[in-house]
Every structure is written in C-alpha cells, then in structure tokens.
Amino acid sequence: MDRDLCYLCGVPKRIWFLLLIASRPVVEYLSKLTIVQIYTVTKKITSMAFWKDTFSLSNLFDDDTVRGLTGLVGCIMLIALAWGLAAALFSFGLYAIRNKGVKYRWLRIVAVFVFLPAVIIIVPILRNRTWFF
C-alpha cells in the first residue's frame, strides 16, 4: 500500500519532480513560441492588405508575409505541431523511465530530459540572445 502512494503512473514521485524541472525550459520556449505565433496571426488578420489580397484568386494560396491562407494556417499549425512534438518526446522519455527493459534506456532518458532542455537554454546564450529569457 505504501509503495502505491509513492508512484504516479508507474514513475516515482521524486522522479516526477525532476521531470518537471527538466521540462520547464521546453514549456517556456513553447509558450513564447505560441505567443509570437498568435501575435503574427492577429497581425495578419488585422492587416487590410491581407483581406484585399486574400480574396483575389491569384493570391489565394500565396505564401507571403502579408497575404495568403497557407501562411495563416501555417502559423496556427506550427503551434499544434510544436506542442504535439513536445508531448510525444515527453511520453517517449516517460516510457523509457517506466520500463526498465527498454533498449538504450539511459540514452533515451538523457536525450529527452537532459540534452533537449540544455540545447534550448544554451543555444540562445551562445548566440547572445539573452532577450529570450
């Protein structure tokens, strides 16, 4: 009974605490990406040039910065794709933690929960993009 209280979905609760710390940079990055994409979509929609050019037949599927439905749908789909990819990678790493018989278990865990958050933190710092934080 005591052993069941210390586990959540087959993973120890102290490991969940470490997973939350490791996934924080990824969630912050995705949140900022979502805000930027929503701003881009609203900027496109409120642009008069977008409406004027979108309803012309020649520019209907033009992927330009101001006009085109594909550019608008692409901004929205990028949000869903980024969050979906992050959830898939998190579940991939969680599966490796939960099942001890998985091949290359430690490599999977390190790649998802150490390498990916480290890249998201280190690359902007190396490129001197401290405004990201």
From CA 5, how far away is CA 126, in angstroms rounded?
A: 43
Task: Give the tens place of pLDDT for each residue, 47-70.
Answer: 776 666 666 666 555 555 555 677
Q: Is residue 121 over pLDDT 50?
A: yes
Task: Give the orientation angle of helix 13-46 with respect to helix 69-98, to 10 degrees.
Answer: 180
Looking at residue 67, its pLDDT comes to 56
Q: Where do the DSSP E strands lie in the chain? A: 7-8, 11-12
Which is higher by pLDDT, 122 or 52?
122
pTM of the predicted structure, to 2 decimals: 0.69
Task: Give the tens place of pLDDT for each residue, 5-59.
Answer: 566 666 777 777 788 888 888 888 889 889 988 998 888 888 776 666 666 666 5
Looking at residue 80, its pLDDT comes to 92
Domain borders along the chain are 2-132
